[in-house]
Structure 1
Amino acid sequence: MIPPIELASAEEIKVFQEEKLKELLTYLAEKSRFYKKMFSDNAIDISQIKTLEDLQQIPVTTKTDLQQHNYDFLCVPKHEIIDYATTSGTLGKPVVVGLTNNDLDRLAYNEAISLACAGIKKGDVVQLMTTIDRGFVAGLAYFLGLRKIGAGVIRIGPRNPQLQWDSIVEHKSKYLIAVPSFLLKMIAYAEANQIDYNQLGVEGIICIGEALRTADLENNVLANRILEKWDVNLYSTYASTEMSTAFTECAYQNAGHLHPELIIIEVLDNQNNPVKDGEEGELTITTLGVEAMPLLRFKTGDIVTVFSEKCKCGRNTKRVGPVLGRKKQLVKYKGTSIYPPAIFDILNFFDSIKLYLVELHTNDIGNDEICVKIASDDVSEEFLNKVKSYLQSKLRVIPTIEFCELETLAKLVFNPNKRKPTYLIDYRI
């Protein structure tokens, strides 16, 4: 189920995307209040934007633009909106993203080819362990994509481990879609209740919300902790509500494949200039084929590296590596620049740490401070020194560390008013 364009040469893909870009610019100039004004204010003649390189002539669109002018991005009458999705609001006010019938069809196509990339086929039973309600687009997208593939879907949601194992046994689930840290809870529950999870037939898990790979595409600590126990294939996938497109790993698990018929990507530095191949920068996207709320040069806030060499699977598309951090969450701590996911990966190394929360503060002289709260089976001075030593070796600095009761920390991490676990609270924002 590989679309032919993904097997085309890099030059053919570029020509294809440039034609799609022209169509998008014409559509935005006719339909979008926001982009009409942008083009006018900046004296942009869209007929002169002919190549992907010409995109540099157009200003970027930011999350703030979406928050302040949300409905100015709408390109169709409101009565044509079939689904109203909302962003998680991680970095501020949530944004409403409307989808038409055609957009839902596009979303289904996107997830079908993305999940097929990870090996899911017609007739497979897939257990969906993420929410499908509360305006959350991901669960809906997975369901639509699996339906298009012809796979069976078990919509369990992010519920307790016993229910997950019961469903796997009952329905013989072949694939799971889950947050990877929850898999550790499932493993711990299975071991405590004599469940032989390696004999239940689960072949692959599509992991969402948390990175599985390091910057050089090796398994990170979280992935290794899962794989040490569970003989499964772990596939990373990355997407956002705004882009309505997913980047999912293939069988070679070598970063998430771009779908050139659905999205154009750039990786930009702080001055909005393209970085060199293999360098990290902010992922910036231009959506193709979106009807209700297409975006042009939208800066996602996610810091990534893009890989351009041909994949062993035969696809010739670019691949997006793991999110190294959010640009707004970069911490300057004691002379060292740190993205919080680097701290998460270190904390995941310790089996004794059952839960953690990283808090970012500003001190009285305006510098960043990091406080790491952990719930641990071992609260000894010796264990504390071991954690500090590991942080020092990996980060070159040691944040403040506080031991907390598991129940107290769980109330902060698993906030019922939020769709995802909260492992970071940034009080600087």
Structure 2
Amino acid sequence: MIIHEVETYSENEMKALQLTRLQETLKRVYGNVPFYHSKFDELGLKPEDIKTVEDISKLPFTVKADLRNSKPFELFATSMKEVVRIHASSGTSGTPTIVGYTEGDINNWADIVARAIAIAGGEADGVFQNAYGYGLFTGGLGLHYGGERLGMATIPISGGNTTRQINIIEECKPTVIAGTPSYILRIAEEMESMGKDPLESSLKFGIFGAEPWSEELRKVLESKLGIKACDIYGLSEVMGPGIAMECHEAQDGLHIAEDHFIVEVINPDTLQPVPDGEEGELVFTSLTKEASPVIRYRTGDIASITRGTCSCGRTTARMSRVKGRIDDMLIIRGVNVFPSEIEECLLRNEDLVPHYQVHLYHEDAMDHVELHVEINEQIYRNCNDDLKNDYIKTVAKNVRHDMKNYCLVTMKVNVLAPGSIPRSEGKAIRIIDHRKKGLPV
């Protein structure tokens, strides 16, 4: 369902709108944020020097360290009197970053997320179960306000309490559910363990994000729940969820809210733009954010961009599913591997369930990788007791072979009994770095 004509703007119409909003944003940050004022002056730039959308390449980048190294409200472009809400990033990759919102920001955000939910299949007469965590994390409240703005009956259940999640699904008959894909998978598995069939639920659409997930995991979620599983993208530093949303019709890239954000894709080493369709680091500039706008924010997320009219009728640029973060990339004996690539490979194996962890060690002056996977309980239970050890050895051998052929890496594989790998009620912890005293990364 297309709920705003801007979703079908021509390229020229969108660029004209973007340029007007970009110029307004640049004036705001140059006049009110000393950090950006200094950055512009160092380059000899004034806001009025930006005369086309393409001129954005003249502007300085912003990186997460800039936000972390500033005092909490130092990068705000408005007075605190105008700020009505403060959020913070999850801090999974370091110190959380603080972001502010004016009343105008909250309204714009609600509109953006309402559009995103509609893109994923939500409708005003439906019921929306929001299993994202509420609080400083932007996921919960971001999706909540969007659901209400769209006109859906929104259930603020938050994350956790899986039994209650299932009860609410049965009693309130939601048509759309949102949460991290790993946690929604846990809900489906818990339903099965209770003797309930997830396919018999009222759910039709799922909105999943906040962690990288693979096409193979999409297939698992869709087959277990009988839904269309769609990817949502957002960062607190830029706005929150809703920056981009995958449509349920095509499921072929996430439509970016280009009237609120300009997207670029750059080579993270050279910082030069890459052609459409080529993977690189996503860079976003906010166009309507009042309290804490960002200019050319380097997200660290790896994806590509395609343009053209989608089969759903929208003309906005689409970003691919995020392959991973630059700082999540593993370098195993000279080969670059993202956790999402490991996941995609593992989920093709019917002997395994969709849970895994990568353990990193440093021994004998070298880094070592150990992959922990979990055996499929039903297959394991039906296996003759005398053959179980041989079966596990065969599974481990097959996984090592698949990793070598698909991911081009050799790693030790530890096949665990059903239920051994911890389940998460939020973001799944996929990498355990024992080189850093066991801290998850």
TM-score between the two structures when normalised by the length of structure 1: 0.90
Measured in 1, the distance between the counterparts of 2:154 and 2:265 equals 35
Report the equivalent of 1:148. Answer: 149
Equivalent position SS for 2:304: strand
Measured in 2, the distance between the counterparts of 1:197 and 1:74 equals 45
Report the equivalent of 1:93. Answer: 95
Measured in 1, the distance between the counterparts of 2:13 and 2:83 equals 34
CA RMSD of aligned residues (A): 2.3
> Within 5 Å, which residues of 2 pair with 1:66-145?
66-70=67-71, 71-133=73-135, 135-145=136-146
Measured in 2, the distance between the counterparts of 1:177 and 1:404 equals 29
Aligned mate of 2:218, from 214, 223, 229: 223
Alpha-carbon shift at residue 141 of structure 1 (Å) = 0.5
Alpha-carbon shift at residue 278 of structure 1 (Å) = 0.3
Q: Is the 8 A contact 2:370 2:413 kept in 1?
A: yes
Measured in 2, the distance between the counterparts of 1:229 and 1:128 equals 19
Measured in 1, the distance between the counterparts of 2:102 and 2:418 equals 43
> Within 5 Å, which residues of 2 pair with 1:296-375?
296-350=295-349, 351-353=351-353, 355-361=355-361, 365=365, 368-375=367-374
Once the two structures are overlaid, the 10-residue window that deviates more, 286-295 or 306-315, is 306-315
Aligned mate of 1:265, from 263, 266, 271: 263
Identity of aligned residues (%): 27
Measured in 1, the distance between the counterparts of 2:146 and 2:297 equals 24
Aligned mate of 1:386, from 378, 383, 398: 398
Alpha-carbon shift at residue 300 of structure 1 (Å) = 0.3
Q: Is the 8 A contact 2:40 2:60 kept in 1?
A: no
Q: Is the 8 A contact 1:330 1:337 kept in 2?
A: yes
Q: Is the 8 A contact 1:239 1:246 kept in 2?
A: yes
Equivalent position SS for 1:397: coil
One-letter amino acid of the structure 2 residue matched with residue 388 of structure 1: R
One-letter amino acid of the structure 2 residue matched with residue 272 of structure 1: L
Measured in 1, the distance between the counterparts of 2:430 and 2:130 equals 22
Equivalent position SS for 1:390: helix
One-letter amino acid of the structure 1 residue matched with residue 254 of structure 2: G
Q: Is the 8 A contact 1:108 1:148 kept in 2?
A: yes
Q: Is the 8 A contact 2:213 2:340 kept in 1?
A: no
The 1:91–1:191 alpha-carbon spacing in structure 2 relative to 1, beyond 3 Å, is closer
TM-score between the two structures when normalised by the length of structure 2: 0.88
Alpha-carbon shift at residue 310 of structure 1 (Å) = 1.2
Q: Is the 8 A contact 1:355 1:406 kept in 2?
A: no
Alpha-carbon shift at residue 372 of structure 1 (Å) = 1.9
Measured in 1, the distance between the counterparts of 2:419 and 2:100 equals 38
Equivalent position SS for 1:106: helix
Aligned mate of 1:425, from 395, 412, 432: 432
Q: Is the 8 A contact 1:255 1:320 kept in 2?
A: yes
Alpha-carbon shift at residue 298 of structure 1 (Å) = 0.4
Measured in 2, the distance between the counterparts of 1:147 and 1:383 equals 47
Aligned mate of 1:253, from 247, 251, 254: 251
Q: Is the 8 A contact 2:182 2:427 kept in 1?
A: no
Alpha-carbon shift at residue 42 of structure 1 (Å) = 2.1
The 1:8–1:202 alpha-carbon spacing in structure 2 relative to 1, beyond 3 Å, is same
Structure 2 regions of 5+ residues with no counterpart?
Answer: 381-388
Measured in 1, the distance between the counterparts of 2:417 and 2:68 equals 37
Once the two structures are overlaid, the 10-residue window that deviates more, 170-179 or 344-353, is 344-353
One-letter amino acid of the structure 2 residue matched with residue 256 of structure 1: L
Alpha-carbon shift at residue 173 of structure 1 (Å) = 0.9
Alpha-carbon shift at residue 110 of structure 1 (Å) = 1.2
The alignment of Structure 1 onto Structure 2 pairs a total of residues equal to 416
Does the alignment pair 1:396 with 2:391?
no
The 1:114–1:353 alpha-carbon spacing in structure 2 relative to 1, beyond 3 Å, is closer
Alpha-carbon shift at residue 166 of structure 1 (Å) = 1.3
The 1:100–1:362 alpha-carbon spacing in structure 2 relative to 1, beyond 3 Å, is farther
> Within 5 Å, which residues of 2 pair with 1:189-208?
189-208=190-209
Equivalent position SS for 2:275: coil
Report the equivalent of 2:384. Answer: none
Listed one character per residue, the Cα deviations across residues 276-298 of structure 1 (whole Å, up to 9, x for unaligned) are 11000000000011111000000
> Within 5 Å, which residues of 2 pair with 1:398-417?
398-403=410-415, 409-410=421-422, 414=424
Q: Is the 8 A contact 2:212 2:324 kept in 1?
A: no
Q: Is the 8 A contact 2:396 2:415 kept in 1?
A: no
Measured in 1, the distance between the counterparts of 2:283 and 2:160 equals 34
Alpha-carbon shift at residue 165 of structure 1 (Å) = 2.1
Structure 1 regions of 5+ residues with no counterpart?
Answer: 214-219
Report the equivalent of 1:217. Answer: none
Measured in 1, the distance between the counterparts of 2:114 and 2:196 equals 32
Q: Is the 8 A contact 2:198 2:224 kept in 1?
A: no
The 1:362–1:64 alpha-carbon spacing in structure 2 relative to 1, beyond 3 Å, is farther
